[in-house]
C-alpha cells in the first residue's frame, strides 16, 4: 500500500508534558478516530482548546509519495527558477526534511534527518517514530521562508512545466499540482506559526 503521512500541528507545551517514550503512541491514540477529512484542517472535539489539528493535503489520498515527487520535481526545476525563489524554496523544502527521504525508506532504522542536527539523542529519541518533527522555533523560520517564496511561485510555471512536469497520471504532473502541494504546506506552517505550535508528520 505504500507509505502514508499524517501531518499535524501540535501544541508543543502539551506534547512535551507527555513522557518522551509515550508521545508517538499518544498522538496515534488521539487521532485514530479522525476519518473522512477530504482536505484542509480537522480539529478534535474539545472544550474549546484543542492541542492538535490534522491537515489533509489536496489530491494526495494521504500518501507520502506526492511530497517525495514534489521534491524530485524541484530538483529538476530549481536551476531554472529566479534566484530569490530558489533560495527561499531551497530553505523551505530542506526545513521540511521529508524531501530528503525516498518513498520506500520508511522501514530503515537510520533516523538521520529527523529533528535538529544538534539535538540530544536521548531527549529526541521519541522522534524516531515520525517522518517529520519541527518545534515552534523551526516553524517560525519556515514561515518566514514561505512568505518570501509564495509570491514568486507562479513565476515558476513556465520553467517548471518545461523541465520538471511528469505528465498525466503522475503524482506531480505539472506546476499546478506542485504549487497546490506547496501551498498546502504553507497553510500548515502558517497555522502552526500563528499558534506558536510545532509540526509533526506521523508514519501511517
Q: Is residue 104's pLDDT more than 50?
A: no
Helices (H), the chain: 12-16, 23-31, 65-77, 83-96, 136-149, 157-163, 175-195
Residue whose C-alpha is closest to residue 23's, from 43, 33, 8: 8
pLDDT at site 44: 84
Q: Is residue 123's pLDDT more than 90?
A: no
Residue range 72-80: average pLDDT? 94
Mean pLDDT in the chain?
84
Residue range 184-191: average pLDDT? 98
pLDDT band at 204 (very low <50, low <70, confident <90, very high): confident
Task: Specify which residues 133 forms β-bridges with.
Answer: 200
pLDDT at site 98: 65
pLDDT at site 107: 40
Q: Is residue 28's pLDDT more than 70?
A: yes
Which tens digits make up the pLDDT trace of 155-185? Answer: 999 999 999 998 877 889 999 999 999 999 9
Residue range 19-29: average pLDDT? 91
pLDDT at site 175: 96
pLDDT at site 47: 67
Q: Grid coordinates 530542506 are at which residue?
A: 94
Residue range 190-198: average pLDDT? 98
**Angle, vertex CA 50, rays to CA 52 and CA 195, nearest 5:** 70
Which tens digits make up the pLDDT trace of 8-22? Answer: 999 999 999 999 889
Quote the DSSP letter at residue 132. Answer: E
Amino acid at each position: 500500500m505504500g507509505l502514508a503521512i499524517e501531518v499535524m500541528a501540535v501544541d508543543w507545551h502539551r506534547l512535551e508534558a507527555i513522557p518522551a517514550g509515550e508521545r508517538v503512541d499518544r498522538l496515534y491514540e488521539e487521532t485514530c478516530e479522525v476519518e473522512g477529512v477530504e482536505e484542509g484542517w480537522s480539529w478534535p472535539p474539545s472544550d474549546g482548546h484543542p492541542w492538535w489539528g490534522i491537515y489533509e493535503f489536496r489530491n494526495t489520498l494521504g500518501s507520502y509519495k506526492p511530497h517525495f515527487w514534489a521534491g524530485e520535481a524541484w530538483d529538476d526545476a530549481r536551476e531554472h527558477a529566479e534566484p530569490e525563489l530558489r533560495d527561499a524554496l531551497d530553505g523551505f523544502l530542506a526545513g521540511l526534511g521529508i524531501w530528503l527521504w525516498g518513498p520506500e525508506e520508511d522501514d530503515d532504522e537510520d533516523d538521520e534527518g529527523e529533528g535538529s542536527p544538534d539535538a540530544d539523542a536521548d531527549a529526541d529519541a521519541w522522534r524516531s517514530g515520525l517522518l517529520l518533527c519541527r518545534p515552534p522555533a523551526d516553524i517560525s523560520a519556515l514561515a518566514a521562508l514561505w512568505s518570501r517564496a509564495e509570491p514568486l511561485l507562479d513565476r515558476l510555471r513556465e520553467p517548471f512545466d518545461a523541465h520538471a512536469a511528469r505528465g498525466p497520471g503522475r503524482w506531480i504532473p505539472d506546476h499546478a499540482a506542485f504549487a497546490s502541494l506547496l501551498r498546502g504546506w504553507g497553510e500548515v506552517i502558517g497555522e502552526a506559526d500563528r499558534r506558536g505550535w510545532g509540526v509533526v508528520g506521523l508514519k501511517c
